[in-house]
């Protein structure tokens, strides 16, 4: 096996509470929801009202900017509530499920005959389109666009993250079928990124155009993989899909139905025996949290997604549309007496060897959510580059995003990055810079000004 | 009541809408000195590294301590040795402390006073940068400089060198070197010559206060100092820069913890060594034929490149830029030493000069990356 591409700059963070490879099926929860915050920049136009009965796969709303992009119900049930926030902005749409499981059926032509336009139409109609995101900008892809290639990263290198090899093992046929469908809609390559250690996937995916990666986080970030294989130039775009969503697309073309299976690694230091749970997209979090054995007396933060990029949610919220992780951390809202002195608080690890914590750095640690300091001006240089494996100057790019100088952002490579690529910079910054937020705002500003 | 409870009680009048709200930044500085705050991540990554600016700065201070302690001892040693009296290590330390501790106190009181005032005035947190600057300034001054000159130099460095540009992180020049350069040009009789580098040299006859580089510039011989003296640091000079050994311990701490840039340090040594070798071959005068390795261990070179050139705010910020910047600091340091007999010590001016050019170096380094991106696009367009 070739060595593939070795990512050097980065950081693998070792946190206690990695999920055991044990899969537990969660019965269909009595309530689920679509959270609009998951669909960045999508302006919804509702197709249903409260009290309507919907089938699985029936459109609930579409995007105002492109009415072909539909968002469908993950289950049969009744629209219970359309939760609105300020200025009547829709926040979430909750659905109460019932025993009935009838679904919208789609007509699927045979694989040999099917054309690109057919596939895109079926994806749009079935509600699978939102699984396809685009770079640049990290938003739901435009179906009219001709991307130069499609990228799928089959491993997640973030701390406590999901092991895709484990959750794809029993879905490998639908995964491969999904890949075959996707091969037909890209004019260029379908690039699959696998880790060197994923023996099963390496073997199974031999027929596909796969690239082997190794190295610390963010080697599993699809943006890093694109940068090393086929970097995005100004005016180009690339489509990306998460692995389990490829299975959903595969199942759609195998069964003709929208089957929104979601396998989640529920992990984190405050959990006894963390493991995997299989449920549906939008499932009520409580239906999973009830099955978890929490350690006593810990104030927890529940995160939809991984600990670097996820969103904080209340326990009465719902599983996100894109995440394969529920992470749980201890809230670090405690004071530390003289905690800034080096060699005090050695339990808090650091990329600097400024505490004795590095002595046992290979051991998993109990991280909490404390900022370990206060926000300050940019002072220390070089720390961002240590965790950013692209030929891009991250600090300069972050600064230009703050200033909003479009020409400089473009020249510094803004089209190649997504907020998640800056997650480790959030982590590593000694000035506690919110780089992900800054880059997201920079990208949004770019969309507003240029599209 | 525990300490936290007392602090919470004291905090009340500084909260929003209360009497002392305006002074909150000052109280915040005190509070965060005692406790790392209970702030948790709100947006972005949920877990954060254990490092913060306070810890970065305190690491630099720890790295400075060996040089400071040796400087205190050496101040006493140089004076007592030349007076010819019998003395112990303790006598030397007492004399040195008597001279140096007031300077450190003045530097911190004046500098932190201005920093606090600006933080309150601007309504932002007190940045920790001055903790290091405030210790560096007395460490690079001649020992006999009057305290009021220290105070004025500090005020100049913080006001004009730093706050005028927007405060910590925005300054172009290293604030500590700005203070020294100010004193150097404003009060030259206290900052150069052969009377200032040993304690009381201008008051006591028979005590000579000349540095090795000064002797060389005057065309004199420096045979009384061995290479070992220069390395250990038992030679006249600014307070804490004489001991290359102690500076190396500091450099080790900075590099090992990852706080200081080894690229700049190594680059400077390479630059100075190569330039020194070149001049050794030429050998037209005493300074030119002064062995290149002695150039590196004598004077403020080692201290300058380890603690001043590596200041992340005023140095080059890109990794490649740091190499270029470091090498040029080394080259210019030796050039100034050799070609400008009025300034036998070149490292201060070399670093300040490169501080000014650091953004230019970064500009060209980043431009190379931008060019690579453009080239990639152009080759793609050609193919299509």
Alpha-carbon gap, residue B384 to B365, rounded angstroms: 30
Give the nearest partner residue to A427 out of B32, B49, B319, using CB atoms.
B49
Q: 3-state SS of A79-95?
A: EEEEEECHHHCEEEEEE
- In chain A, how many H helices and how many E strands? 12, 23
The number of beta carbons lying within 10 Å of the beta carbon of residue B62 is 18
Domain that holds residue A232: 5-23+102-255
Q: Residue A369 falls within a domain, yes or no?
A: no
B169 at interface of A, judged by CB pairs closer than 8 A: yes
Residue where a domain terminates, one of A238, A255, A272: A255
Q: Of the candidates A232, A248, A257, which has an alpha carbon nearest to the alpha carbon of residue A443?
A: A232
CB contact under 8 A, A333 and B43: no
Q: Hey, is B55 helix, strand or coil?
A: helix
Q: Do residues A100 and A56 lie in contact, with contact meaning Cβ atoms separated by under 8 Å?
A: no
CB contact under 8 A, B59 and A395: no
DSSP summary character for residue B13: G
Q: Which of B24, B30, B32, B52 would best serve as a mutation to test chain A binding (most A beta carbons within 10 A)? A: B52
A10 at interface of B, judged by CB pairs closer than 8 A: no
Cα torsion A412, A414, A416, A418: sign:
positive
Q: Of the candidates B129, B160, B163, B156, which has an alpha carbon nearest to the alpha carbon of residue B53?
A: B129
Alpha-carbon gap, residue B112 to B61, rounded angstroms: 16
Kindly identify which residue of chain A lies nearest to residue B169, measuring between CA atoms. A379
Contact map slice: B 198-237 vs A, CB within 8 A: none
Which residues in chain A have their CB less than 8 angstroms from residue B319's CB? 382, 385
Q: Of the candidates B156, B208, B209, B165, which has an alpha carbon nearest to the alpha carbon of residue B185?
A: B156
Low-confidence stretches of chain B (pLDDT < 50) are none
Give, in degrees to the nearest 5, the angle at Cα B298 between B297 and B301. 75
Q: Hey, is A237 helix, strand or coil?
A: coil
Instruction: Please classify residue B146 by burial: count the beta carbons closer than 10 Å to its beta carbon, then call 0-12 exposed, 13-18 middle and 19+ buried.
Output: exposed
Task: Check whether the bond before A136 is cis (ω within 30° of 0).
Answer: yes
The Cα-based distances of A366 to A349, A351, B82 in angstroms read 9, 16, 59
pTM of the model: 0.91
Q: And the tokens for B186? A: 């404003």
Q: Residue A120 falls within a domain, yes or no?
A: yes
A427 at interface of B, judged by CB pairs closer than 8 A: yes
Contact map slice: A 21-80 vs B, CB within 8 A: none
The backbone torsions φ and ψ at residue A403, rounded to the nearest 5 degrees and listed phi first, read: -75, -35
Give the nearest partner residue to B45 out of A301, A308, A338, using CB atoms.
A308
Each residue's pLDDT tens digit in chain A (451 positions)?
Answer: 456 899 999 999 989 999 999 999 999 999 999 999 999 999 999 999 999 999 999 999 999 999 999 999 999 999 999 999 999 999 999 999 998 889 999 999 888 888 999 999 999 999 999 999 999 999 999 999 889 999 999 999 999 999 999 999 999 999 999 999 999 998 888 999 999 999 999 999 998 999 999 999 999 999 999 999 999 998 899 999 999 999 999 999 999 999 999 999 999 999 999 999 999 999 999 999 999 999 988 899 999 999 999 999 999 999 999 999 999 999 988 888 888 887 777 777 888 887 776 677 678 888 889 888 888 888 888 899 999 999 999 999 999 999 999 999 999 999 999 999 999 999 999 999 999 999 999 999 999 988 7
Could you tell me if residue B258 is left (phi over 0), alpha (psi between -120 and 50 degrees) or otherwise beta? left
- pLDDT of B354: 96
Q: Residue A232 falls within a domain, yes or no?
A: yes
Residue listed under structure tokens 């409870």: B5
- pLDDT of B269: 95
Q: 3-state SS of B111-148?
A: HHHHHHHHHHHHCCCCCCHHHHHHHHHHHCCCCCCCHH
Alpha-carbon gap, residue B384 to B379, rounded angstroms: 9
Which residues in chain A have their CB less than 8 angstroms from residue B312's CB? 379-382
Query: Is the same domain home to A250 and A394?
Result: no
Kindly identify which residue of chain B lies nearest to residue A392, measuring between CA atoms. B369
Contact map slice: B 75-94 vs A, CB within 8 A: none
Number of domains composing chain A: 2
B302 at interface of A, judged by CB pairs closer than 8 A: no
Query: Is the same domain home to A11 and A155?
Result: yes
Contact map slice: B 342-371 vs A, CB within 8 A: 366, 369-370
Give the nearest partner residue to B167 out of A336, A377, A428, using CB atoms.
A377
Kindly identify which residue of chain B lies nearest to residue A309, measuring between CA atoms. B45
Residue where a domain terminates, one of A197, A229, A255: A255
Alpha-carbon gap, residue A267 to B18, rounded angstroms: 43
Q: Hey, is A9 helix, strand or coil?
A: coil
Q: Exposed e or buried b for every residue in B111-142, given b needs 16+ CB within 10 A?
A: bbebbbebbbeeebbbbbbbbbbbbbbbbbbb
A395 at interface of B, judged by CB pairs closer than 8 A: yes
Which residues in chain A have their CB less than 8 angstroms from residue B314's CB? none
Q: Of the candidates A354, A437, A435, which has an alpha carbon nearest to the alpha carbon of residue A387?
A: A435
Q: And the tokens for A395? A: 């600090």
Could you tell me if residue A42 is left (phi over 0), alpha (psi between -120 and 50 degrees) or otherwise beta? beta
Q: Residue A295 falls within a domain, yes or no?
A: no
Q: Residue A50 falls within a domain, yes or no?
A: no
Q: Residue A302 falls within a domain, yes or no?
A: no
Which residues in chain B have their CB less than 8 angstroms from residue A429's CB? 49
Residue where a domain terminates, one of A229, A255, A281: A255
- pLDDT of A3: 63
Q: Residue A141 falls within a domain, yes or no?
A: yes
Give the nearest partner residue to B370 out of A301, A333, A412, using CB atoms.
A412
Shortest distance, CA B253 to any CA of chain A (angstroms) = 9
Q: Which of A136, A305, A327, A335 would best serve as a mutation to test chain B binding (most B beta carbons within 10 A)? A: A335
Q: CB-based contacts of A403: which residues, under 8 Å, 6+ apart? A: none
CB contact under 8 A, B53 and A376: yes
A9 at interface of B, judged by CB pairs closer than 8 A: no
CB contact under 8 A, A373 and B36: yes
- pLDDT of A1: 47
User: With respect to CATH, is domain B53-369 assigned 1.10.3430?
Assistant: yes
Q: Do residues A230 and A5 lie in contact, with contact meaning Cβ atoms separated by under 8 Å?
A: no
A149 at interface of B, judged by CB pairs closer than 8 A: no
Q: Residue A341 falls within a domain, yes or no?
A: no
Contact map slice: A 227-266 vs B, CB within 8 A: 231, 233-234
Q: And the tokens for A137? A: 């900008």
CATH of the domain at A163: 3.40.50
ipTM of the complex: 0.89
Alpha-carbon gap, residue A309 to A326, rounded angstroms: 11
CB contact under 8 A, B46 and A373: no
B112 at interface of A, judged by CB pairs closer than 8 A: no
A89 at interface of B, judged by CB pairs closer than 8 A: no
Q: CB-based contacts of A244: which residues, under 8 Å, 6+ apart? A: A164, A167, A168, A171, A261, A262, A263, A324
Give the nearest partner residue to B376 out of A233, A327, A427, using CB atoms.
A233
Q: Do residues A377 and B282 lie in contact, with contact meaning Cβ atoms separated by under 8 Å?
A: no
Residue listed under structure tokens 């909150």: B24
A359 at interface of B, judged by CB pairs closer than 8 A: no
Q: Hey, is A23 helix, strand or coil?
A: strand
Q: And the tokens for A123? A: 């994806």
Cα torsion A350, A351, A354, A358: sign:
positive
A415 at interface of B, judged by CB pairs closer than 8 A: no
Alpha helices, DSSP H only, in A371-434?
383-386, 394-403, 406-411, 423-428
Q: Do residues B155 and B127 lie in contact, with contact meaning Cβ atoms separated by under 8 Å?
A: no
Which residues in chain A have their CB less than 8 angstroms from residue B317's CB? 381-382, 395-396
A413 at interface of B, judged by CB pairs closer than 8 A: yes
- Residue pLDDT, tens place only, B216-230: 877 777 777 888 888
Which residues in chain A have their CB less than 8 angstroms from residue B323's CB? none
Alpha-carbon gap, residue A409 to B258, rounded angstroms: 29
Q: And the tokens for B247? A: 């500076």
Shortest distance, CA B359 to any CA of chain A (angstroms) = 12
Q: And the tokens for B91? A: 């006598």
CB contact under 8 A, B54 and A340: yes
């Amino acid at each position: 096996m070739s060595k593939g591409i070795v990512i050097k700059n980065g950081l693998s963070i070792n946190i206690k509470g990695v999920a055991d490879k044990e899969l537990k099926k969660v019965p269909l929860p009595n309530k689920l929801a679509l959270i609009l915050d998951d669909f960045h920049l999508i302006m919804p136009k509702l197709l249903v009202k409260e009290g309507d009965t919907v089938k699985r796969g029936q459109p609930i709303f579409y995007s105002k900017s492109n009415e072909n992009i539909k968002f469908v119900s993950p289950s049969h049930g009744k629209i219970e509530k359309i939760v609105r926030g300020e200025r009547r902005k829709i926040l979430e749409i909750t659905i109460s499920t019932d025993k009935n499981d009838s679904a919208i059926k789609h007509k699927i032509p045979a694989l040999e005959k099917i054309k690109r336009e057919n596939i895109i139409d079926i994806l749009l109609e079935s509600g699978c389109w939102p699984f396809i995101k685009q770079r640049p900008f990290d938003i739901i892809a435009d179906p009219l666009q001709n991307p130069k290639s499609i990228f799928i990263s089959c491993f997640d290198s973030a701390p406590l993250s999901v092991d895709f090899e484990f959750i794809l093992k029993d879905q490998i046929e639908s995964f491969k079928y999904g890949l075959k469908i996707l091969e037909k809609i890209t004019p260029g390559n379908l690039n699959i990124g696998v880790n060197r250690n994923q023996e099963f996937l390496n073997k199974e995916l031999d027929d596909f155009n796969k690239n082997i990666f190794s190295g610390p986080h963010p080697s599993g970030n699809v943006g890093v993989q694109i940068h090393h294989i086929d970097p995005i130039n100004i005016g180009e775009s690339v489509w990306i899909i998460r692995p389990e969503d490829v299975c959903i697309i595969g199942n759609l073309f195998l069964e003709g139905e929208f089957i929104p299976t979601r396998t989640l690694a529920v992990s984190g230091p405050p959990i006894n025996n963390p493991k995997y749970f299989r449920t549906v997209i939008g499932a009520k979090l409580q239906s999973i949290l009830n099955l978890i054995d929490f350690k006593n007396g810990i104030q927890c933060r529940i995160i939809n997604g991984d600990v670097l990029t996820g969103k904080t949610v209340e326990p009465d919220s719902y599983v996100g549309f894109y995440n394969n992780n529920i992470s749980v951390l201890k809230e670090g809202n405690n004071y530390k007496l003289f905690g800034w002195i080096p060699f005090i608080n050695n339990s808090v690890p650091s990329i600097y060897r400024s505490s004795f914590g590095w002595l046992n750095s290979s051991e998993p640690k109990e991280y909490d959510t404390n900022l370990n300091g206060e926000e300050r001006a940019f002072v220390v240089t070089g720390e961002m580059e240590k965790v950013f494996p692209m030929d891009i100057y991250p600090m300069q790019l972050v600064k230009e995003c703050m200033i909003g100088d479009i020409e400089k952002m473009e020249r510094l490579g803004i089209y190649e990055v997504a907020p998640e690529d800056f997650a480790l910079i959030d982590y590593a910054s000694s000035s506690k810079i919110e780089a992900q937020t800054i880059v997201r705002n920079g990208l949004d500003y770019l969309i507003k000004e240029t599209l | 009541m525990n300490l936290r409870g007392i602090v919470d009680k004291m905090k009340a009048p500084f909260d929003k809408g209360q009497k002392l709200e305006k002074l909150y930044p000052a109280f915040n500085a005190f509070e965060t000195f005692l406790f790392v705050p209970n702030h948790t991540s709100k947006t972005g990554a949920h877990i954060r590294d254990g490092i913060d600016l306070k810890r970065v700065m305190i690491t630099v201070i720890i790295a400075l301590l060996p040089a400071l302690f040796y400087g205190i001892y050496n101040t006493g040693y140089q004076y007592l040795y030349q007076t010819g009296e019998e003395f112990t290590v303790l006598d030397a330390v007492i004399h040195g402390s008597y001279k140096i501790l007031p300077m450190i106190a003045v530097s911190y009181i004046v500098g932190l006073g201005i920093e606090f005032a600006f933080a309150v005035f601007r309504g932002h947190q007190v940045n920790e940068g001055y903790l290091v600057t405030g210790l560096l300034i007395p460490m690079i001054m001649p020992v006999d400089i009057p305290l009021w000159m220290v105070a004025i130099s500090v005020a100049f460095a913080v006001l004009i060198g730093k706050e005028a540009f927007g405060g910590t992180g925005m300054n172009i020049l290293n604030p500590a070197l700005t203070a020294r350069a100010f004193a150097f040009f404003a009060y030259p009789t206290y900052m150069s010559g052969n009377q200032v580098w040993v304690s009381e040299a201008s008051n006591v006859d028979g005590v000579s206060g000349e540095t090795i580089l000064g002797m060389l510039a005057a065309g004199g011989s420096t045979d009384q100092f061995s290479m070992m003296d220069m390395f250990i640091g038992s030679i006249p000079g600014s307070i804490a820069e004489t001991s290359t050994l102690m500076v190396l311990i500091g450099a080790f701490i900075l590099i090992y913890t990852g706080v200081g840039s080894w690229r700049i340090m190594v680059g400077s040594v390479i630059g100075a060594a190569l330039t020194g070798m070149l001049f050794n071959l030429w050998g037209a005068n005493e300074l030119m034929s002064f062995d290149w390795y002695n150039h590196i261990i004598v004077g403020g070179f080692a201290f300058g490149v380890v603690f001043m050139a590596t200041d992340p705010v005023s140095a080059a910020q890109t990794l490649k830029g740091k190499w270029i910047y470091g090498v040029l600091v080394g080259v210019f340091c030796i050039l100034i030493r050799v070609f400008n007999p009025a300034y036998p010590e070149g490292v201060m001016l070399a670093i300040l000069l490169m501080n000014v050019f650091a953004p230019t170096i970064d500009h060209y380094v980043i431009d190379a990356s931008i060019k690579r991106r453009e080239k990639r696009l152009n080759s793609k367009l050609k193919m299509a």
